[in-house]
Amino acid sequence: MTTLRLLAATLVIAAATFNLTGCGGNRDLDYKKVEAEEAQKRISELEKQLADCESKKTSTVIKNAKDAGTADDTATDQAAVGSNAKVSTRGVEVVITIENSILFKPGKADLSSQAKATLAKVATLIKEKYPHHAVRVEGHTDDTKITRAKDEWSDNWDLSGGRSQSVLHYLLERGLEPKEMGFAGYGEFRPVTPNSSDANRAKNRRVEIVVIPQSK
């Protein structure tokens, strides 16, 4: 909790830094730029501390499950990744689903601090329980067309691919093997439920991390 409070406070400071109320010349602007860069550096440090802490919690869950002989249960995977992700199986595949509201701001592909903490748990689960498995990161959107973010994304294929790529790169930062990784963007074409309500659209906006056994 202390780390979370520090992160929140630093975010507030960073926001205030960008709120320029006057122009005092290039020196003033340069100083504020340095302040902003230092604030962003501190945010990154706190995000890493939080992610490391969450990763340790996941390791403890997996270890306790192994000691109790329940490590192969899907319930163990769910406990390991926490409430911000949903674990299910699809044949021999393990599918870890995270709604985009946890991961991204609307129309963006930059990971939030909450996203990084959640993905740190996922990376630890895969490394410790599913080593040498293939991992495919799949991005999905609802059927709402790109409007406000047209300057960033051409369509939902583009957005979903960009988001899955962001997740992939963060999982690589947390120690997953590049040769076992891949990503895909499916746009709005693989919904889990009809896009008939706001609640359903929220479920369709998601990233799925698919863990697949590889033949030896």
Listed by start position, the domains of the chain span 2-212
CATH number of the domain located at residue range(s) 2-212 in this protein: 3.30.1330.60
pTM for the model: 0.84
pLDDT the model gives residue 131: 95
Q: How far is CA 120 from CA 76, 104, 114, in A?
A: 16, 16, 10
pLDDT the model gives residue 68: 93
What does the alpha-carbon distance between residue 81 and residue 164 come to, in Å, rounded to a whole number?
18
pLDDT the model gives residue 55: 97
36-56 tens-digit pLDDT: 888 888 999 999 999 999 999
pLDDT the model gives residue 39: 86
Q: Look at strands 93-99 and 86-90 and give their pairing.
A: antiparallel
What does the alpha-carbon distance between residue 115 and residue 172 come to, in Å, rounded to a whole number?
14
Which residues, given as ranges, of the chain have pLDDT below 50?
1, 18, 20-23
Name residue 152's beta-bridge partners: none
pLDDT the model gives residue 97: 98
pLDDT the model gives residue 7: 58
pLDDT the model gives residue 4: 55
Q: Look at strands 181-185 and 134-140 and give their pairing.
A: parallel
pLDDT the model gives residue 34: 82
Hey, what's the torsion of the CAs at 190, 196, 197, 201, to 10 degrees?
A: 10
The tokens describing 51, both together, are 């992610």
pLDDT the model gives residue 20: 47
> Which candidate, 107, 137, 104, places its Cα nearest to that of 122?
137
CB 133 within 8 A of CB 210: no
